């Protein structure tokens, strides 16, 4: 069904993944993937981190970024349940790509040049699930974040035929 007057203002705001160690995950998504931490909200048992790409040339203040989190599109919410980072018996979360827990697949990040981005990821020691030269789809790559979630790296323009 196409957009109607009732749904014209709807936006895909965010997707959430649970993380074991917020320091490792925040490093991956901010320092390696280049996202900005837009909002951090601590509760008694958990903390929420909202990340996204800032295409405003950094003209927004931290307060403005926080205030606009739910007005933006395509954000990543990291949820950290306190204590998991130091619990030796914690098994981690299902990435969605293996049993049990198959379902969620990946997030995707569009880049100008997949090979150039992958060369950078190599230098930074990022773990690859699939490199561009592997498999049938040679124009994409898959990385693994600190919790084993797949991050697809795609070109900004792609044909799926």
Which residues neighbour 142 within 8 Å (Cβ) at sequence distance 6 or greater? 106, 128, 129, 130, 150, 151, 152, 153
Cα angle 37, 28, 135 (rounded to 5 degrees) comes to 130
Residue 134 annotated among the catalytic residues of the structure:
no
Active-site pick, 40, 64, 134, 152 = 152
Alpha carbons within 13 angstroms on the beta-carbon side of residue 158 total 16
SS3 115: helix
Positions annotated as catalytic residues are: 152
């Amino acid at each position: 069904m196409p957009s109607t007057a009732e749904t014209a203002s709807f936006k895909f705001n965010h997707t959430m993944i649970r993380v074991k160690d917020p320091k490792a995950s925040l490093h991956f998504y901010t320092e390696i993937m280049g996202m900005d931490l837009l909002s951090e909200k601590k509760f008694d048992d958990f903390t929420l981190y909202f990340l996204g790409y800032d295409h405003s040339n950094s003209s927004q203040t931290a307060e403005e970024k926080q205030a606009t989190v739910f007005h933006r599109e395509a954000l990543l919410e990291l949820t950290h349940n306190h204590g998991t980072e130091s619990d030796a018996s914690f098994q981690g979360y299902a990435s969605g790509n293996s049993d049990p827990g198959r379902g969620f697949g990946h997030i995707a990040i569009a880049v100008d040049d997949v090979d150039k981005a992958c060369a950078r990821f190599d230098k930074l020691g990022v773990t690859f699930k699939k490199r561009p030269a592997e498999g049938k789809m040679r124009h994409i790559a898959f990385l693994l974040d600190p919790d084993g979630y797949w991050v697809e790296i795609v070109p900004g323009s792609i044909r799926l035929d």
